[in-house]
Structure 1
Amino acid sequence: MSIFSIGLSGLRAAQTGLYATSGNISNVNTPGYNRELVQLGENRSYGVLVNGVERQFNQFVATRLNAASGSLASLETYHSQVRQIDNLLSDERSGLAPVMQEFFNALGQMNSSPADPAARAGVLGTASTLVSQFKSFDNYLEDIERSVNAEMKFEVDSINSLTGQISQLNKEILLARSGAGDAPNSLLNQRDKLVHDLSQRIDVRVHEQKSGSYTISLNNGSPLVSGDTSYQLDARADNNDPTRTAIFYNDVSGNQVQLKESTFNRGSLSGLMEFRSKSLDTMRNQLGQMVRVFADSFNQQHQAGVDLNQDPGQAMFGTGEPVAYSHSRNTGTGVAGVQITDANALLATDYDIKLTDTGYEVRRVDNGKLVDATFDGATGTLAFNGVEVAMTGTVDQGDSFRVRPLVNQTQSFELLLTEGAQLAAAQSNASGDNRNGLAMLDLQNQLLVEGKGTFNQAYGTMVSTLGNQINVVQANLAAQQGLTEQLTALQQSESGVNLDEEAANLIRYQQYYQANAKVIETGSTILDTILQLR
Structure 2
Amino acid sequence: MSLLNVGARALLANQVALQTTGHNIANVNTPGYSRQSVQLATVQGQFTGGGYIGQGVDVQTILRNHNELLTRQAAMAGSTQAADVVRSERLNQLQEVFSGGTSGLGAAITDMMNSLSDVVSSPTDITARTVALTRMSETAGRMRSAADRINEIQYTVTEQLKSDVVKVNSLAQSIAGVNEQIARARGNGQTPNDLLDQRDQLIRELNQYVQTTQVPADDGTVGLFVAGSQPLVLGTTATTLSVDEATQFPGSGQMRLFFNRPGATPVELDDNMLGGGEVSGLLRFANNDLAEGRNLLGRMAQAIGMTMNAQHKLGLTLDGQPGKDLFAVPTSMPGYSSGTGAGTVSFTDPTKFAASDYEVRFTTPPAGQVVRLSDGKSTAFANLADPALQNIDGLSFNLTAAGAAGERVLFKPFSSAANNIQALVLSPRDLAAANPINAAMGTSNGGTLQLAGLKATGLPNPPGLVLPANANPAAVPPILGGVQLRFNAGPPVTYDALDRGTSPPTTIAAGQPYTPGSPISINGWQITLQGTPKGGDTVTIGNALDPQYGDAYTRNAGNASAVMNLRDVKMFDESTMNDGYAGLMAQVGTRAQSAQYAADLSTTIAANLERDRTAVSGVNLDEEAAKLIQYQQAYQASAKMLQIAQSIFDSLIQTMGR
Asked if Structure 1 and Structure 2 have the same fold, meaning a TM-score greater than 0.5 normalized by the shorter chain, the answer is: yes
- C-alpha displacement at 1:379, in angstroms? 8.3
Residue 272 (structure 1) aligns with: 282
Residue 27 (structure 1) aligns with: 27
Counterpart CA distance in 1 for 2:556 and 2:131 is 18
Aligned pairs for 1:18-167 within 5 A: 18-45=18-45, 46-90=55-99, 92=101, 94-167=103-176
Residue 288 (structure 1) aligns with: 298
Counterpart CA distance in 2 for 1:375 and 1:110 is 50
- Under a length normalisation based on structure 2, what TM-score does the superposition of the two structures give? 0.77
* Conserved? CA contact 1:15–1:513, under 8 Å: yes
Structure 1, 262-271 or 90-99: larger mean CA deviation: 90-99
Which amino acid is 1:405 matched to? P
Higher share in strand:
2
- C-alpha displacement at 1:220, in angstroms? 2.1
Counterpart CA distance in 1 for 2:370 and 2:41 is 70
Q: Secondary structure of the equivalent of 1:304? A: coil
- C-alpha displacement at 1:455, in angstroms? 1.5
Q: Alignment partner for residue 199 of structure 1, among 204, 207, 226?
A: 207
Q: Secondary structure of the equivalent of 2:258? A: strand
Q: Alignment partner for residue 307 of structure 1, among 310, 317, 322?
A: 317
Residue 593 (structure 2) aligns with: 471
Counterpart CA distance in 1 for 2:328 and 2:274 is 39
**Aligned residues, how many?**
527
Which structure has the greater CA radius of gyration?
2
Counterpart CA distance in 1 for 2:206 and 2:137 is 49
* Conserved? CA contact 1:338–1:390, under 8 Å: yes
**Residues 377, 70 of structure 1: alpha-carbon distance in 2 compared, 3 angstrom cutoff:** closer
Q: Secondary structure of the equivalent of 2:571? A: coil
Which amino acid is 1:217 matched to? F
Which amino acid is 1:284 matched to? R
Q: Deviations over 1:89-137 (max 9, x none)?
A: 3353541111111111210111000111111111111111111011101
Counterpart CA distance in 2 for 1:162 and 1:275 is 24
Residue 5 (structure 1) aligns with: 5
* Conserved? CA contact 1:322–1:409, under 8 Å: no
Q: Deviations over 1:168-203 (max 9, x none)?
A: 11111001111x322111211110001111111112
Counterpart CA distance in 2 for 1:247 and 1:380 is 38
Which amino acid is 1:443 matched to? L
Aligned pairs for 1:316-327 within 5 A: 316-320=326-330, 321-327=332-338
Q: Alignment partner for residue 507 of structure 1, among 621, 629, 650?
A: 629
* Conserved? CA contact 2:575–2:583, under 8 Å: no
* Conserved? CA contact 1:156–1:235, under 8 Å: yes
Residue 448 (structure 1) aligns with: 571
Q: Is 1:530 aligned to residue 652 of structure 2?
A: yes
Structure 1, 230-239 or 523-532: larger mean CA deviation: 523-532
Unaligned runs of 5+ in 1: none
- C-alpha displacement at 1:378, in angstroms? 4.9
Counterpart CA distance in 2 for 1:168 and 1:353 is 47
Q: Deviations over 1:300-347 (max 9, x none)?
A: 1111111111111122211134232122xx3x3x43223223332221
Which amino acid is 2:333 matched to? P
Residue 583 (structure 2) aligns with: 461
Which amino acid is 2:304 matched to? F
Counterpart CA distance in 2 for 1:454 and 1:438 is 16
Q: Deviations over 1:473-503 (max 9, x none)?
A: 2222222222222222222221111111111
- C-alpha displacement at 1:252, in angstroms? 5.9
Residue 530 (structure 2) aligns with: none
Which amino acid is 1:520 matched to? L
Higher relative contact order, structure no. (Cα contacts within 8 Å, ≥ 6 residues apart): 1
Counterpart CA distance in 2 for 1:192 and 1:342 is 58
Identity %: 29
Residue 366 (structure 1) aligns with: 374
Aligned pairs for 1:219-258 within 5 A: 219-239=227-247, 240-242=249-251, 243-251=253-261, 254-258=264-268
Counterpart CA distance in 1 for 2:393 and 2:27 is 63
Q: Is 1:350 aligned to residue 350 of structure 2?
A: no
Counterpart CA distance in 2 for 1:487 and 1:394 is 53
Unaligned runs of 5+ in 2: 46-54, 436-543, 546-551
Which amino acid is 2:311 matched to? Q
**Residues 438, 394 of structure 1: alpha-carbon distance in 2 compared, 3 angstrom cutoff:** closer
Q: Secondary structure of the equivalent of 2:29? A: coil
Counterpart CA distance in 2 for 1:12 and 1:514 is 11
Which amino acid is 1:144 matched to? I
Residue 259 (structure 1) aligns with: 269
Q: Secondary structure of the equivalent of 1:415? A: coil
- C-alpha displacement at 1:79, in angstroms? 1.6
Q: Is 1:336 aligned to residue 343 of structure 2?
A: yes
Q: Alignment partner for residue 414 of structure 1, among 419, 422, 425?
A: 422
Aligned pairs for 1:201-220 within 5 A: 201-220=209-228
* Conserved? CA contact 1:278–1:366, under 8 Å: no
RMSD of aligned alpha carbons: 2.0
Q: Is 1:389 aligned to residue 397 of structure 2?
A: yes
Which amino acid is 1:468 matched to? T
Which amino acid is 2:192 matched to? P
Q: Deviations over 1:258-298 (max 9, x none)?
A: 11211222111122122223421111101111111111111
Which amino acid is 1:232 matched to? T
Counterpart CA distance in 2 for 1:32 and 1:232 is 25
Counterpart CA distance in 1 for 2:380 and 2:580 is 25
Q: Secondary structure of the equivalent of 1:80? A: helix
Q: Is 1:435 aligned to residue 446 of structure 2?
A: no
Q: Is 1:516 aligned to residue 638 of structure 2?
A: yes
Q: Secondary structure of the equivalent of 2:634? A: helix
**Residues 238, 381 of structure 1: alpha-carbon distance in 2 compared, 3 angstrom cutoff:** farther
Q: Secondary structure of the equivalent of 1:34? A: coil
- Under a length normalisation based on structure 1, what TM-score does the superposition of the two structures give? 0.94
Residue 433 (structure 2) aligns with: 425
Q: Deviations over 1:343-378 (max 9, x none)?
A: 3222111112232236323223334x1421445445
* Conserved? CA contact 1:241–1:402, under 8 Å: no
**Residues 24, 248 of structure 1: alpha-carbon distance in 2 compared, 3 angstrom cutoff:** same
Which amino acid is 2:411 matched to? V
**Residues 352, 486 of structure 1: alpha-carbon distance in 2 compared, 3 angstrom cutoff:** same
Which amino acid is 1:195 matched to? I
Q: Secondary structure of the equivalent of 2:406? A: coil
Counterpart CA distance in 1 for 2:595 and 2:307 is 36
